[in-house]
Amino acid sequence: MLLNESDPRAKRRVLRQGIASGRIQRVAGAYSPLVAMAIEAAGFDGVYLGSSTMATEIGLPDIGLVTQSEAAARGAEVARVTALPTIIDIDTGYGEAVNVARTIRLLEDAGLAGCHLEDQVNPKRCGHLDDKQIVPTEEMAAKIRAAVAARRDPDFLIIARTDSRAVEGLEAAIARGRAYREAGADMLFPEALADAEGFAAYRRAVEGPLLANMTEFGKSELLSAEELQQIGYAIVLYPVTAQRLAMGAVEAGLKSIIERGSQAHLLNQMQPRQRLYELIRYADYQRFDDSVGRPTVTPDET
């Protein structure tokens, strides 16, 4: 068939196998299904759908305004177009523990491979901004237990993100990580660690797989995938990179058209029509249409 036919359970197993392989999994953020297809074509190991890009794509700030149903629907749109496993950001879980449980079921039905849940107070803030507030450890642990209890596929990856490093310090972030692991989290996501030593210190202090967020213009030093793999991280995340690249080009290009009166000088910076058609498999749809014997409409001769 034309659309991606990868079974969601198989994609979850692929993600688990990748994490267990010892080779860091490179996961890039998609702000649309088309970008997810480009991420796969570029050779990444997974696709990510973050709350930041989901919010900004509809003209909102990343402060918890995207709803549970909006996230699940967008996740389904992205997951269906790629053979790669897709991880989604569910902020603080859209409510209390019971809301988290329902969210997990919705995400499984949508074909997602995993999600991450954070310990901020709702409404949350971007993880690399100041003045974040976090909930008590046990409140977050209850949400993690709810997520684990709700999943039907044991390969669905549940990632616990802690924003406590910037609020309470590294030792508190380590203690929370250990508590979240005890509650059943499959992977830990320590947000806004400062530098290579901070990432290494966290790795030494906690067991199990870790995710490193390499977002631009934030509080973390931008480390290479190779460096993070040597430290011992299992996933490196580039959550907003594609959107930032695109919006930088969009704003510069639009300004240039206003200044010069035409887009002719920008053609070599654009994705050609033919490449777009290759990415969306335009010719395959044409061949499929022909293969099923689409009827030919003839003029009415009466």
Which residues are marked as active site? 48, 62, 89, 91, 116, 118, 126, 161, 191, 213
| CA atoms within 13 Å, Cβ hemisphere of 124 | 28
Closest CA to 212 of 244, 165, 175, 247: 165
Query: CA-based angle 252:255:257, to the nearest 5?
Result: 110
Sequential DSSP letters for 218-270: SSS----HHHHHHHT-SEEEESSHHHHHHHHHHHHHHHHHHHHS-SGGGGGGS
Q: Which residue has the tokens 């053609």?
A: 267
For the beta carbon of residue 24, count every other beta carbon within 10 angstroms.
23
Alpha-carbon span 107 to 158, nearest angstrom: 11
Q: How many C-beta neighbours within 10 Å does residue 276 have?
A: 13
End-to-end CA distance of the chain: 39
List b or e across 154-180, with b for residues whose CB sees 16 or more CB atoms inside 10 angstroms.
Answer: ebbbbbbbbbbbbbeebeebbbbbbbb
Cα angle at 104 between 99 and 107, to 5 degrees?
125
Measured distance CA(164)–CA(51) in Å, rounded: 19
